[in-house]
């Protein structure tokens, strides 16, 4: 089944065939064939297709690639958010509250709640989402979190080393995570991640878990430098991680290490918003040539948003990214952070994942914050709304 989207006023391809850093084509059309893009070019030369969507001059973008989310959990922590807005600091200690609620939930409840968040994200233009475990922290609870995540995405991440569970000895817990827990989880995971930060895992503990995961064939990603400067970013680079995530507290040496590497710096402005923390400055990263992604970090504690447009607006207003840099980071950047070349860009052969905006330009995503600008989402070539 083929589909023609025509009368596109501004088509963001992120591909070198178009103009500027976003590869923009004007007065364009896209033809999809099943799950893939078959043709892109001037609307006047568009071939026929079985069905047609008239974009009526609107902007069309690749679907957002949310490369960092924690969607398998039960309960919420609205009271903790309220306390923070009244001046309390975020320490990550509330993770254990969500762990208790998650362990008490049934598989069905967890799947339905995570599915609702995926649907919520999709309505806001997200067509690829990564989902982490990390609210189970026992062998059985981590494995079931990943089984549930795998029903919703192919981008599943084992985060048994999220925090040390209440009452456990840290070194014994690390041995559990890199031993029996990894054995049980690796079949359901594509990636391994560790929260390497103050109050979570130190550099040596993080290295032990990440190396064990890599040995099992999992790709590496790291929660790094969120709460304090530390070894996380440099460890990520040393281990060839696809992504170092948060990067809120970076030293010049961290920026240099990222600049000489293939590790993407994934910025998560929803976390700074929701923990009332200072935003990282994206400028030194971008100016040094570091590849940057934007993601939601959607979770009930530090960033309970599934909205990539919200993160784009924050990145532009608070992190010194241009609208073009932010949109690229939320699409092609996320794809790089997941080492995917079939999403995040629109070109023949890529997945037919795209959004039609209720706006004439991608600029409106930052210019009109909080406004529902996603008119239509195509996922695997199928219109979602
Ligand atoms: O990425 N930083 C570690 N983990 C999550 C927060 C989890 C929580 O507070 O529940 C994050 O921000
Ligand atoms: Fe996170």
What pLDDT digit, counting tens, does each position of 16-68 carry? 988 899 999 999 999 999 999 999 999 999 999 999 999 999 999 999 999 99
Q: Give the model confidence (pLDDT) of 155-172 as tens digits.
A: 999 999 999 999 999 999
- In contact, 138 and 103? CB cutoff 8 Å: yes
Pocket test for ligand 1, best of 302, 303, 304, 305 (most atoms within 8 A of CB): 302
Pocket of ligand 1 (CB under 6 A): 92, 94-95, 98, 195, 223, 226, 271, 297, 299-303
Per-residue pLDDT, 17: 86
- Neighbour tally for 265: CB within 10 Å: 31
Say how many Å lie between the CA of residue 302 and the centre of ligand 1.
5
Q: Over 90: is that where the pLDDT of 191 sits? A: yes
Closest CA to 335 of 348, 320, 355, 350: 350
CA 78 vs CA 81, 82, 85, 300: distances in Å: 5, 6, 11, 8
In eight-state DSSP terms, residue 69 is B
Say how many Å lie between the CA of residue 134 and the centre of ligand 2.
9
Question: How many residues can be counted in the chain?
Answer: 385
Q: How large is the angle between the packed helices 95-104 and 139-150, nearest 10 degrees?
A: 80
Pocket test for ligand 1, best of 68, 73, 95 (most atoms within 8 A of CB): 95
Q: Over 80: is that where the pLDDT of 149 sits? A: yes
Q: 100-121 burial, b for 16+ CB within 10 Å, e for fewer?
A: ebbbebeeeebbebbeebbeeb
| Beta pairing class for 126-132 and 2-12 | unpaired
Ligand number nearest to the C-alpha of 197: 1
Per-residue pLDDT, 207: 98
Say how many Å lie between the CA of residue 190 and the centre of ligand 1.
20
Q: What's the average model confidence in pLDDT over 344-364?
A: 98
Extract the tokens encoding 4.
């023609």
State the pLDDT confidence band at 385, using cuts at 50, 70 and 90: low
Nearest residue (CA) to ligand 1, atom 5:
302
Query: What gap in Å lies between CA 310 and CA 166, rounded to an integer?
Result: 34
Residues having C-beta closer than 5 Å to ion ligand 2: 297
Ligand number nearest to the C-alpha of 295: 2
Query: What gap in Å lies between CA 200 and CA 35, rounded to an integer?
Result: 41
Mean of per-residue pLDDT scores for the chain: 97
Q: Answer whether 0.85 is exceeded by the pTM.
A: yes
- Compute, in degrees rounded to 10, the torsion defined by CA atoms 360, 366, 371, 375: 40
Nearest residue (CA) to ligand 1, atom 9:
301
Coil, strand or helix: which one is 104? helix
Query: What gap in Å lies between CA 240 and CA 222, rounded to an integer?
Result: 11
- In contact, 136 and 159? CB cutoff 8 Å: no
Query: Using CA of residue 182, residue 119, residue 21, residue 290, what is the dihedral sign?
Result: negative
In the chain, the percentage of residues whose pLDDT exceeds 70 is 100
Q: Give the model confidence (pLDDT) of 274-327 as tens digits.
A: 999 999 999 999 999 999 999 999 999 999 999 999 999 999 999 999 999 999
Say how many Å lie between the CA of residue 70 and the centre of ligand 2.
6
Pocket test for ligand 1, best of 276, 301, 303, 304 (most atoms within 8 A of CB): 301
Nearest residue (CA) to ligand 1, atom 6:
302
Per-residue pLDDT, 368: 98
- In contact, 239 and 210? CB cutoff 8 Å: yes
In eight-state DSSP terms, residue 329 is I
Query: What gap in Å lies between CA 154 and CA 156, rounded to an integer?
Result: 6
Say how many Å lie between the CA of residue 101 and the centre of ligand 1.
15
**Long-range contacts made by residues 368-371, C-beta under 8 angstroms, separation at least 24?**
369/309, 369/310, 369/313, 369/317, 370/310, 370/313
Nearest residue (CA) to ligand 1, atom 3:
195
- Compute, in degrees rounded to 10, the torsion defined by CA atoms 105, 308, 276, 193: 60
Longest C-alpha distance within the chain, in Å?
67
- Quick one: which H or E segment has residue 175? helix 170-176
**5, exposed or middle or buried, with CB in 10 Å at 0-12, 13-18, 19+?**
buried
- In contact, 2 and 33? CB cutoff 8 Å: yes
Say how many Å lie between the CA of residue 55 and the centre of ligand 1.
38
Q: Provide the phi-psi class of 23: left if phi over 0, else alpha when psi is between -120 and 50, else beta.
A: left
Extract the tokens encoding 130.
């990564």
């Amino acid at each position: 089944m083929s589909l023609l989207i025509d009368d596109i006023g501004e088509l963001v391809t992120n591909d070198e065939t178009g103009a500027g850093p976003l590869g923009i084509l004007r007065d364009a059309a896209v033809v999809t064939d099943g799950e893939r893009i078959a043709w892109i070019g001037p609307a006047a030369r568009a071939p026929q297709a079985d069905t047609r969507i008239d974009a009526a001059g609107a902007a069309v973008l690749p679907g957002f690639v949310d490369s960092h989310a924690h969607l398998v959990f039960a309960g919420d922590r609205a009271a903790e958010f309220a306390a923070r807005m009244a001046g309390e600091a975020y320490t990550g200690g509330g993770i254990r509250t969500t762990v208790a609620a998650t362990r008490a939930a049934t598989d069905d409840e967890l799947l339905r709640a995570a599915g609702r968040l995926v649907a919520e994200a999709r309505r806001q233009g997200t067509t690829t989402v990564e989902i982490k475990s990390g609210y189970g922290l026992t062998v059985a609870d981590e494995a079931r979190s990943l089984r549930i995540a795998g029903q919703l995405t192919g981008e599943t991440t084992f985060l048994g080393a999220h925090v040390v569970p209440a009452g456990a000895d840290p070194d014994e817990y690390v041995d559990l995570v890199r031993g029996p827990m990894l054995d049980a989880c690796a079949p359901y995971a594509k990636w391994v991640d560790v929260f390497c930060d103050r109050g979570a895992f130190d550099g040596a503990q993080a290295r032990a878990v990440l190396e064990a995961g890599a040995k099992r064939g999992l790709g590496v990603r790291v929660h790094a430098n969120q709460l304090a400067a530390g070894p996380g970013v440099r460890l990520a680079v040393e281990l060839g991680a696809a992504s170092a995530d948060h990067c809120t507290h970076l030293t010049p040496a961290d920026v240099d290490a990222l600049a000489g590497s293939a590790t993407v710096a994934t910025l998560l402005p929803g976390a700074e918003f929701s923990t009332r923390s200072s935003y990282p400055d994206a400028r030194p990263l971008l100016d040094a040539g570091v590849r940057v992604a934007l993601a939601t970090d959607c979770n009930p504690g530090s960033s309970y948003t599934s909205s990539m447009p919200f993160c784009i607006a924050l990145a532009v207003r608070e992190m010194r990214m241009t609208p073009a840099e932010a949109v690229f980071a939320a699409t092609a950047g996320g794809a790089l952070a997941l080492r995917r070349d079939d999403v995040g860009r629109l070109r023949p052969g890529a997945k037919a994942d795209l959004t039609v905006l209720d706006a004439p330009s991608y600029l409106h995503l930052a210019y009109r914050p909080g406004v529902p600008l996603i008119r239509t989402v195509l996922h695997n070539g199928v219109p979602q709304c």
